[in-house]
């Protein structure tokens, strides 16, 4: 396991690349965040203040966290309010960046959500730009010591990787994976070429693909060139559409 002192975005990408499904990704990402940022509870959150609703995945699984309780206090959460008030500033931040200790301890969110969870401090890493009503983020919680500036710097370096990986693993399922594999064999795409067109369809650039897959941009472009040839398309958008029509995506 990588120690916090030498943990980097490259290490993070290496450990989380090419996992079999979303469940494995969430568990692996949480384990990496536990190691990197030393949290007591790590959670993935998809929040909608307008409904309100909260979809939450967390580790450890026995943490006292309720989707209903979280949704009930969303509009008062200092991090949620901060991100919605400043939607163009999506950098990682701490609760202590948004509210004083005295205000935080007397807040409804603290008493109804954090005390039952046994947490006092939180660091959020946004992985999808907030809409007017909500957003998606990883939340790292601690019970004793607040996150320091080094933790914040590390979170900033991990944020782009987490955002890309969330898109990669957003819709994977075993059944569709089987269907895609059958379509791949019909078109005679290699596993790597199918991976390339899938990432392109998710909006990743050649540079982003190279970073996530730990290969050079030149290699990515060569893979894409061969993929486009097999799809009989020479345009990125047409190739993606052809791949969808064939059941590759």
Tokens standing for residue 71: 């949704």
Looking at domain 174-245, does it have CATH number 1.10.10.10?
A: yes
Lowest mean pLDDT among 14-18, 120-124, 151-155, 210-214: 14-18
pLDDT attached to residue 5: 47
Cβ neighbours around 47 below 10 Å, total = 26
> What's the whole-number mean pLDDT along residues 201-228?
90
Q: In the chain, where are the structural domains located?
A: 4-159, 174-245
Q: Which residue has the tokens 């955002």?
A: 163
Does residue 128 carry a pLDDT above 90? no
- Pick one of 3.40.50.720, 3.30.160.250, 3.30.450.80, 3.40.50.2000 as the CATH number of 4-159: 3.30.450.80
Tokens standing for residue 55: 């979809």
> What's the whole-number mean pLDDT along residues 99-125?
96
pLDDT attached to residue 137: 96
pLDDT class for 3, splitting at 50, 70, 90?
A: very low
Check if 4-159 and 174-245 are the same fold: no
CB burial string 194-213: b at 16+ within 10 A, e below: bbbbbbbbbebebebbbbbb
What secondary structure letter does DSSP report for 247? T
Cα gap 21→27, rounded to integer Å:
10
In 3D space, the residue among 11, 6, 2 whose CA is nearest the CA of residue 161 turns out to be: 11
pLDDT attached to residue 171: 56
Dihedral sign computed on CA atoms, order 41, 44, 48, 51:
negative
> What's the whole-number mean pLDDT along residues 184-206?
88
- pLDDT tens digits for range 29-86: 999 999 899 999 999 999 998 888 999 999 998 888 889 999 999 999 999 999 999 9
């Amino acid at each position: 396991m990588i120690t916090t002192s030498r943990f980097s975005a490259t290490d993070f990408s290496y450990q989380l690349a090419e996992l079999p499904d979303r469940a494995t990704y969430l568990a692996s990402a949480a384990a990496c965040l536990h190691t990197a940022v030393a949290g007591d509870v790590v959670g993935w959150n998809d929040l909608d203040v307008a409904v309100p609703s909260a979809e939450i995945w967390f580790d450890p699984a026995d943490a006292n966290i309720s989707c209903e309780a979280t949704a009930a206090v969303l509009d008062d959460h200092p991090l949620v309010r901060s991100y919605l008030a400043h939607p163009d500033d999506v950098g990682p931040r701490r609760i202590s960046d948004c509210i004083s200790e005295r205000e935080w301890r007397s807040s409804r969110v603290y008493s109804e959500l954090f005390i039952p969870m046994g947490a006092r401090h939180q660091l959020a890493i946004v992985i999808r730009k907030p809409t007017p009503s909500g957003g998606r983020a990883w939340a790292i919680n601690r019970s004793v010591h607040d996150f320091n500036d080094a933790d914040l710097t590390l979170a900033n370096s991990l944020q782009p990787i987490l955002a890309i990986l969330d898109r990669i693993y957003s819709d994977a399922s075993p059944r569709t994976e089987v269907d895609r594999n059958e379509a791949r064999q019909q078109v005679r795409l290699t596993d790597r070429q199918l991976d390339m067109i899938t990432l392109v369809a998710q909006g990743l650039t050649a540079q982003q693909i190279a970073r996530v897959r730990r290969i050079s941009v030149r290699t990515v472009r060569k893979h894409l060139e061969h993929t486009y040839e097999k799809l009989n398309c020479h345009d990125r958008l047409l190739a993606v559409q052809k791949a969808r029509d064939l059941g590759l995506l």
